[in-house]
Structure 1
């Protein structure tokens, strides 16, 4: 009974409280107007909602409610309320600005441009605020000339000049026109130097101009009078740009305390964790951002980068593809997505992403990836052109030097790479990347001791430099220190169990020691975490070395999940070809050729398979391959054999002689040259070549045929 009575009392209190709202509608409206004037927008909403329960058709109440919704960050509700107000007879002219602001806030700038009069009409009728709003909508739509015209007209109104100049400054900043942004900032600062909006633009512009100290001062000056989220986030960015991680972390904690609902604190914690190499924490914090703002590109970028660094390529690709769909012009998104495509072997995808980018200091890393992609696609001239473009940035620019040096290493021009790197290190002595590459060049020039010294010194300063550890492992292996290398890698894996790269490296070491079962087990673990083509190939190679006849199934299963991995598909085609499975090999090569029509290796091998099958397409393919790779002995051998079989010995013999001269260690090419000499009526030359081939005792596919040919001479 007590509970019932208490419930009744509570209900009675509730009813009485509710009844108190049934006051005079005019009084409620007056109270709402006062609350709105006092910037107490939430109270205004409560009063108006109570009024509209009694008088749902009051247009003026719906209109004021729309303005209150807009002031409290609910543009969708504001748009609905202002539409209702106009429908109930409220003046469309009076409601125009509120409706336009709501449309812009819900992401419909095109509707704003269509809804508002032209800039000329607004200027003629002295509607300065509408001109500003129109300019904002045009800028969102990247109608730069129209936006400039609207903002400039708005600047003609004395009370709007500062706001218009700031809008013009921000527009120029968004287009990376820093000089134009600086001009408008000066105008605004000349009229209102203490205006916080001026200080905000000054801070943002300083960051864009790589002046973090100036940016820090600008944002700090705002926060001395009032702590606001926008200035705080700018300050944190400036601190991070200065490398002051400790101060940035402290400011992030302060931001989280003052604004517990903001996701900015989680985002900056993710940035700081990523910078420290703590990718698990970076993912944890960035996930909180993603849950709240799934279309926030910087958050998606961190998720992608952190997963990529941990070896989770497919997961990284999902986040980065989403970021690319939202902001396809973002250089960093393109670069990270290109790294994903590089790992899964999608060469054409890398070229598609990076080819349109300009050549400047900001695009060094993308140009490196682009050059390497060109090389993998067989487009050597394009790769060389990229290297030539980037040489203008050496040796002062460490990144450019690294690009050109890596391309020199790819071309086996180790001396040039060493010279470039030594010159660049005089300008950039603290560059880890240059030191690593120098070690690589020295190692390639067989100066193993100097390479080891470079890498060991690098690891003293940067113990987590994985590539340097890989280099040292290679150097130590060359000296036969297998046990030490294996032990070192296992210790590292206990500390970084999720590091797929280290696991693959351990598999490589075990494989070089002949511990094939252990190597395969390690590769299997790595592939389960990150199913890339590189690891699939390593698994296949170990299985093949162990005599596993089903090794090709490893490649087949990988291609079922990654059908565009053409590196693996080409290898599978070669496996089928070596096994004598002509039709299956042709099918795999043709799939690769469909995506890479100018790949000499694929064209050459297809030509030989078609020749073996009696297919007339063989000659055209071999001729195209030779045109693309005129110095390739293997291609010359293929076309020579095809011409010889067609009875064109006069065309075949020069090719086969050239091929044998370039590849005297290749018995198959020697056998082809012997056949040509016999066909040309020069058996004595064939006898000499066959004697060399057979006396070596080296096995090759045509050895029995060569023995029979030699016996008949």
Structure 2
């Protein structure tokens, strides 16, 4: 074989790496120096693969060939193999290849591996001789400092690079990145243009310029820059990717396919290529091909959040909802909080009949979606499917208010009209949209609106329309059952709920509705079986497991029994928040702090980055008196959520508990830095200032609130309450009056405060005059009338209280709370209708301990002791911790002559100590036994 002719021919043509390998194998007699020269030529042509093969063959013959080591490192670096490049560069240094050439490239390869710390530690003080080498290394150090979020040191390193070699292109690129990071995108592009004038073949600069132009909305300019970079380095996958993404964004699918074909020729099996192949196939609705491509990508990069997200989207379109869930759950923590992963995961749960899981996913972001109409509408659907109609309607209306002019969202416009009170137009529009829409958003909005307004017949009509579209959707039948419940058609409601669970036995909202009907009919075993049936189909159902735990708790189950049920939910769903929070809450509610601490520690270990878990753990630590640990936990919460005031508000609570009021004020000031109009922080600062006698400081904060919220009452309430705390009644009255003038719509809160301040200041006549005028101008203000009734009752003006309660009944005839209070006041007046009022209250709201207590007391006073005592027993079975009811029961037992039983009840109350304020009366009763 003529080796010279063969190699000469090879150098004149562009050949594949495979062909180069075959030729080299056939020419085993070639010298390392010739292979080295061949490799240099390949590198000059940017054919790093062929160069690498030549260099590896050369090194097989002479492993100590320093230049071959250096050039191989360079070829591997160009081929995106920074690990292999680093190895070869270090070997080149071992064989004494010039440090000026090796060190900057070695630093660059380490940066590609994310080793910024090592670069700074190893090369931060390195001395190189040539200006270009110094500039190159300082540029690498600048990039390392940027990766460490140390902009000042990065700026100094880039300046040192430019000092070593003025106009050094890569250093200018670094400065451009810094300008871009500060938001000066035009300035960054100008620097890049200077860099490209000096080095027009710097493909990285073209790439960055494209990114910056795209960020400014100049997609055409960005595309030109990307293509320039691709001309210089045809195997630059980043440029290929950017061009394909840009074409997809512009809807140029055919051109994207052509660009993808070009990318495949460069690196067909690279994960980035496979990802884009999946994206293109997804856009083409070729979901099987998209699935195959993304699986290839995930083999190489199994933790890629955007690969996992795309895989979830593909499985969703293929209606493989469990697979979609698995991918999206993994992607969720590492993709944008309100990104597509969360949206599709929620939609997937809704389509798969798992609204409870959808609720778990949307709840953490409900406070962040106020400006996102699509997320608000999605929240409306989630609440609707979970049977929370009022909340669903609220979110649909919020979505509508943000996007009323979009003709593609006539649902939103109709909801806006509805909110404005133009109900005829709104409902007509909603009905028309729902009839034309193949989806269910308009139907759900229409149904929610009717149910909120208690227009059950109209709701049933809308549900019938939805059923024509989705006859096999359990939501449809659950909604019908809800409407029928509103009409008191219990049999019809039960039938609809039964239909829903027949379609999907794991559908929790319908099962819960059936369980509630069972409980109302005194069939707790049947109710329990409803949830057990859900678990038979979905053993991990958090809602069903927690519902069983709640049932056991209400039935008087021990803490251990309830905890056991909650722990089943924890074991079945170890990464879910709800069961862990329920377990912590159970133990805290029972004051079993050690158990709560254990549950909190387990929760933090399993979910260390969940704000809700850290918040719960901090509360437990505070309850345990471990204030330092609680502060440390809230410090982690603050680091995790730097844009949230919650951590600082919690810290303030801990500091107050630890009697460090100065520390509490500092924490509240930090909360105000995060949220300058935080009412919670402002209220806390005012309370601390008043406690310390700093009335002027407290009033300054109150007036700041007034400036921030000029059309709200809260600032004037703060000012009035501050003055009232110092018994400055005239000043308090003045503040409350100013509030009523500035925010008349908030009179419901201000009017009672003004009346109270007038009374407290000794102006009873003025107070009566104000009350009369206010009720004349606001005859439907039930809140103020209720305040007047309770205020009169507190002053033992029972006749005045009765007048107000009777007036309330004229508009709220079936309000059990008003009837109950009127019953008690009437009892004090010896009004024979007292029991009648109490009986009606108990009928309207059965099994309510407070209502049962009133009726029982009145019955015993009347002489119907047996029924009265029975009612007391039932009330205490429902609310065993209600010490006030137990005290009334003890008094009734004494009247009935059952002194031993009364003694036992009083002893239970006495054990509560200071937790029950009426211990003096308890002691007096004990003495009389």
Shared fold per TM-score greater than 0.5: yes
Report the 3-state secondary structure (helix = DSSP H, G, I; strand = E; otherwise coil) of the residue aligned with 1:551: helix
* d(CA) in 2 for partners of 1:577, 1:659: 35
Equivalence for 1:429: 406
Q: How does 1:389-408 map to 2 (within 5 A)?
A: none
Cα separation, partners in 2 of 1:74 and 1:291, compared to 1, 3 Å: same
* d(CA) in 2 for partners of 1:408, 1:482: 13
Equivalence for 1:397: none
Equivalence for 1:384: none
Q: How does 1:509-588 map to 2 (within 5 A)?
A: 514-524=495-505, 527=506, 535-542=507-514, 545=517, 548-549=526-527, 550-554=529-533, 561=540, 571-572=547-548, 575-576=551-552
Match of 2:814 among 665, 672, 676: 665
* d(CA) in 2 for partners of 1:295, 1:175: 30
Equivalence for 1:442: 418
Structure 1, gaps ≥5 residues long: 1-13, 377-406, 494-501, 528-534, 607-619, 621-626, 637-647
* d(CA) in 2 for partners of 1:226, 1:15: 26
Equivalence for 1:99: 106
Report the 3-state secondary structure (helix = DSSP H, G, I; strand = E; otherwise coil) of the residue aligned with 2:406: coil
| Residues 63, 82 of structure 1: 8 Å contact kept | yes
What's the CA shift for 1:595?
3.9
| Residues 21, 50 of structure 1: 8 Å contact kept | no
Cα-to-partner distance string for 1:192-232 (whole Å, 9 max, x where unaligned): 67976554334322321234344345446667898664444
* d(CA) in 2 for partners of 1:541, 1:21: 82
Aligned-pair Cα RMSD in Å = 6.1
What's the CA shift for 1:413?
8.0
| Residues 519, 542 of structure 1: 8 Å contact kept | no
Match of 1:260 among 246, 260, 268: 268
Cα-to-partner distance string for 1:245-264 (whole Å, 9 max, x where unaligned): 56545654565566533444
Determine whether 1:478 maps to 2:459: yes
* d(CA) in 2 for partners of 1:93, 1:193: 24
* d(CA) in 2 for partners of 1:590, 1:245: 51
Cα separation, partners in 2 of 1:458 and 1:351, compared to 1, 3 Å: closer
> Comparing 666-675 with 112-121, which one deviates more in the overlay?
666-675
Structure 2, gaps ≥5 residues long: 1-20, 451-456, 485-491, 568-577, 593-622, 624-682, 684-747, 750-782, 784-792, 865-929
Match of 2:837 among 686, 689, 693: 689
Cα-to-partner distance string for 1:279-301 (whole Å, 9 max, x where unaligned): 77765554443233334333333
| Residues 203, 232 of structure 2: 8 Å contact kept | no
Cα separation, partners in 2 of 1:21 and 1:266, compared to 1, 3 Å: closer
| Residues 489, 506 of structure 1: 8 Å contact kept | no
* d(CA) in 1 for partners of 2:364, 2:840: 49
What's the CA shift for 1:594?
8.5
Match of 1:167 among 168, 174, 183: 174
What's the CA shift for 1:39?
4.8
* d(CA) in 1 for partners of 2:130, 2:344: 46
* d(CA) in 2 for partners of 1:471, 1:346: 18
Determine whether 1:134 maps to 2:283: no
| Residues 510, 518 of structure 1: 8 Å contact kept | no
| Residues 52, 58 of structure 1: 8 Å contact kept | yes
Equivalence for 2:302: 294
* d(CA) in 1 for partners of 2:498, 2:366: 40
Equivalence for 1:209: 216
Match of 1:108 among 98, 115, 131: 115
* d(CA) in 2 for partners of 1:105, 1:72: 12
| Residues 373, 403 of structure 2: 8 Å contact kept | no
Equivalence for 2:53: 46
Cα-to-partner distance string for 1:135-189 (whole Å, 9 max, x where unaligned): 2222233322222222233344668533332333234445655354344345446
Report the 3-state secondary structure (helix = DSSP H, G, I; strand = E; otherwise coil) of the residue aligned with 1:291: helix
Equivalence for 1:454: 430
* d(CA) in 2 for partners of 1:486, 1:200: 53
Cα separation, partners in 2 of 1:421 and 1:331, compared to 1, 3 Å: closer
Cα-to-partner distance string for 1:17-38 (whole Å, 9 max, x where unaligned): 9695355555555555555556
* d(CA) in 2 for partners of 1:99, 1:479: 72
Q: How does 1:586-605 map to 2 (within 5 A)?
A: 595=581
Equivalence for 1:466: 440
Cα separation, partners in 2 of 1:248 and 1:296, compared to 1, 3 Å: same
* d(CA) in 2 for partners of 1:289, 1:82: 30
* d(CA) in 2 for partners of 1:685, 1:458: 51
* d(CA) in 2 for partners of 1:709, 1:69: 93
Equivalence for 2:859: 709
Cα separation, partners in 2 of 1:133 and 1:17, compared to 1, 3 Å: closer
* d(CA) in 1 for partners of 2:394, 2:269: 56
* d(CA) in 1 for partners of 2:343, 2:844: 50
> Comparing 72-81 with 469-478, which one deviates more in the overlay?
469-478
* d(CA) in 2 for partners of 1:155, 1:50: 39
Higher relative contact order (CA 8 A, sep 6+): 1
* d(CA) in 1 for partners of 2:844, 2:366: 50
Equivalence for 1:398: none
| Residues 497, 510 of structure 2: 8 Å contact kept | no
Cα separation, partners in 2 of 1:99 and 1:598, compared to 1, 3 Å: closer
Cα separation, partners in 2 of 1:690 and 1:489, compared to 1, 3 Å: same
| Residues 282, 302 of structure 1: 8 Å contact kept | no
| Residues 409, 417 of structure 1: 8 Å contact kept | no
* d(CA) in 2 for partners of 1:116, 1:697: 80
Cα separation, partners in 2 of 1:254 and 1:51, compared to 1, 3 Å: closer
What's the CA shift for 1:111?
1.4
* d(CA) in 1 for partners of 2:229, 2:501: 60
| Residues 523, 539 of structure 1: 8 Å contact kept | no
* d(CA) in 2 for partners of 1:598, 1:664: 41
Report the 3-state secondary structure (helix = DSSP H, G, I; strand = E; otherwise coil) of the residue aligned with 1:561: coil
Determine whether 1:143 maps to 2:150: yes
Equivalence for 2:85: 78
| Residues 213, 238 of structure 1: 8 Å contact kept | no
What's the CA shift for 1:520?
1.0
Q: Which has the larger radius of gyration?
A: 2
Match of 1:488 among 459, 469, 473: 469
What's the CA shift for 1:689?
0.7
Q: How does 1:612-627 map to 2 (within 5 A)?
A: none
> Comparing 573-582 with 138-147, which one deviates more in the overlay?
573-582
| Residues 439, 452 of structure 1: 8 Å contact kept | no
| Residues 60, 90 of structure 1: 8 Å contact kept | yes
* d(CA) in 2 for partners of 1:365, 1:693: 43
* d(CA) in 2 for partners of 1:473, 1:260: 52
Equivalence for 2:754: none
| Residues 271, 298 of structure 2: 8 Å contact kept | no
Q: How does 1:317-356 map to 2 (within 5 A)?
A: 319-320=327-328, 322-323=330-331, 327=334, 332=339, 344=356
* d(CA) in 2 for partners of 1:212, 1:15: 44
Cα separation, partners in 2 of 1:149 and 1:320, compared to 1, 3 Å: farther
Cα separation, partners in 2 of 1:179 and 1:29, compared to 1, 3 Å: closer
What's the CA shift for 1:332?
3.0
> Comparing 233-242 with 192-201, which one deviates more in the overlay?
192-201
What's the CA shift for 1:467?
1.2
* d(CA) in 1 for partners of 2:233, 2:48: 21
Report the 3-state secondary structure (helix = DSSP H, G, I; strand = E; otherwise coil) of the residue aligned with 1:684: coil
How many residue pairs were aligned?
594
Cα-to-partner distance string for 1:441-474 (whole Å, 9 max, x where unaligned): 63996936733523534774xx454312434566
Report the 3-state secondary structure (helix = DSSP H, G, I; strand = E; otherwise coil) of the residue aligned with 2:188: helix
